[in-house]
């Protein structure tokens, strides 16, 4: 596609700053996922420019300061609204009628407002409202995001419960026959080859172990609805598209080992690499990795971190991509990946201790 228009850049900026409506957010997400130029502008320019702000901790306004400020503004507003005593002269300016124009007696004169009083009161009220908005809106936004993170963890919990029941029924985890070296990034490809790594979790939805909506992260603002019965009747082999699964699953290596340990990672919010995958599966993937993409958190929660599901059923929100105690491992990249690596979407971990979640 060509260069982005001014309107498209404005849409992406509003989306990045959290100023867009739900409809605009959906348009921005679609633009980012379908247009490489938009994805580059959003991540390489906007996100990179604003990323230093993410390291700043929000400090809520102390309750005492808020109360004192509101009390002070209220007192000042009331001070200008005190009724005058009879001893106080009326300082309201009187405008004389033009010469030659007779003054008419129109009955009781309406109550006069001091010209300086109304602006003061308006300014005081506006200051109070502005103060309250500046304090409450960021706090409410953080509360909503924390609630969505909890809902996201609940979704992963449902997936784990369904997987546990599947293992109990079949004696093994959901799996499909794959060939090493085949591309696993083609989410939604319904061909006979088991390419996508999402076909494994799709078995849980297809066979009724997990409700399809449990594969969606509540923090992503794209609204997706589908009828499970209808899709099962269509005989799909994978999720219809990337829009219907917001999580990335572990890609197993060919070597057997310790992947069933309790601290092993099973699933997490979507790998940021997936944001750059083309929707056209007919062309091979060739993505040159750089420091930015190798350091991003999942986009599910605005880059603030990701929920991670472990093999023992525990899950937690992590602000870092690194897991482990003695040895830290990046869950969104292979240990062999460095800036400049050409990623083709078919690479596998070299050892069982290299956790890699994709696509």
pTM over 0.75: no
Question: Which of the pair, 221 or 80, is modelled with greater confidence?
Answer: 221
Using the predicted structure, report yes or no on whether residue 329 has a pLDDT greater than 80. yes
Give the CA dihedral 296, 302, 305, 310, nearest 10 degrees.
-100
pLDDT in tens, 260-281: 554 689 999 999 999 999 888 8
**Residues 43, 146 within the same domain:** no
Tally of domains in the chain: 2
Question: Which of the pair, 297 or 354, is modelled with greater confidence?
Answer: 297
Residue 201 lies in a domain: yes
**Residues 171, 314 within the same domain:** yes
Using the predicted structure, report yes or no on whether residue 127 has a pLDDT greater than 80. no
Using the predicted structure, report yes or no on whether residue 167 has a pLDDT greater than 90. yes
Q: What is the pLDDT of residue 240?
A: 87
Give the residue-averaged pLDDT of 40-44: 81
pLDDT in tens, 96-115: 444 444 444 454 444 444 44
Q: Are strands 265-269 and 247-250 parallel, antiparallel or unpaired?
A: antiparallel
Residue 300 lies in a domain: yes
Instruction: Kindly report the average pLDDT of the chain as a whole number.
Output: 78
Give the residue-averaged pLDDT of 79-105: 49
Q: Which domain holds residue 240?
A: 140-358
Question: Which of the pair, 304 or 192, is modelled with greater confidence?
Answer: 304
- 41 — pLDDT class (breaks 50, 70, 90): confident
Residue 74 lies in a domain: no
**Residues 35, 174 within the same domain:** no
**Residues 155, 13 within the same domain:** no
pLDDT in tens, 63-77: 566 566 666 766 766
**Residues 179, 327 within the same domain:** yes
Residue 341 lies in a domain: yes
Neighbours of 267 (CB within 10 A): 23
Greatest mean pLDDT among 17-21, 39-43, 292-296: 292-296
**Residues 189, 305 within the same domain:** yes
Q: What is the pLDDT of residue 71?
A: 67
């Amino acid at each position: 596609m060509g260069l982005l228009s001014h309107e498209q850049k404005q849409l992406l900026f509003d989306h990045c700053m959290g100023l867009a409506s739900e409809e605009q957010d959906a348009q921005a997400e679609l633009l980012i996922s379908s247009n490489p130029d938009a994805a580059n502008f959003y991540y390489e320019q906007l996100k990179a420019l604003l990323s230093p702000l993410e390291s700043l901790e929000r400090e809520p306004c102390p309750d005492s300061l808020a109360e004192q400020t509101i009390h002070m503004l209220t007192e000042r507003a009331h001070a200008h609204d005190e009724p005058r005593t009879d001893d106080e002269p009326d300082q309201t300016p009187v405008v004389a009628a033009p010469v030659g124009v007779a003054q008419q007696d129109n009955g009781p004169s309406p109550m006069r407002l001091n010209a300086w009083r109304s602006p003061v009161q308006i300014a005081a009220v506006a200051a109070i409202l502005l103060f309250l908005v500046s304090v409450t809106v960021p706090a409410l936004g953080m509360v909503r995001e924390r609630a969505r993170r909890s809902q996201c963890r609940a979704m992963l919990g449902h997936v784990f419960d369904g997987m546990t029941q599947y293992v109990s029924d079949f004696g093994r985890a959901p799996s499909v026959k794959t060939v090493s070296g085949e591309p696993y990034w083609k989410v939604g490809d319904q061909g006979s080859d088991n390419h996508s790594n999402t076909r494994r979790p799709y078995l849980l939805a297809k066979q009724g172990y997990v409700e399809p909506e449990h594969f969606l992260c509540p923090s992503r603002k794209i609204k997706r609805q589908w009828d499970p019965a209808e899709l099962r009747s269509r005989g799909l082999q994978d999720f219809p598209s990337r829009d219907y699964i917001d999580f990335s699953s572990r890609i197993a290596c060919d070597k057997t080992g310790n992947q069933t340990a309790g601290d092993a990672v099973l699933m997490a919010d979507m790998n940021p690499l997936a944001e750059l995958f083309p929707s056209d599966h007919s062309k091979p993937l060739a993505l040159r990795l750089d420091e930015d993409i190798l350091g991003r958190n999942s986009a599910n929660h605005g880059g603030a971190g990701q929920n991670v599901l472990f093999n023992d059923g525990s899950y937690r929100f992590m602000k870092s991509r690194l897991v482990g105690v003695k040895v830290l491992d990046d869950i969104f990249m292979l240990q062999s990946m460095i800036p400049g690596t050409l990623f083709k979407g078919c690479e596998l971990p070299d050892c069982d201790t290299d956790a890699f979640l994709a696509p």
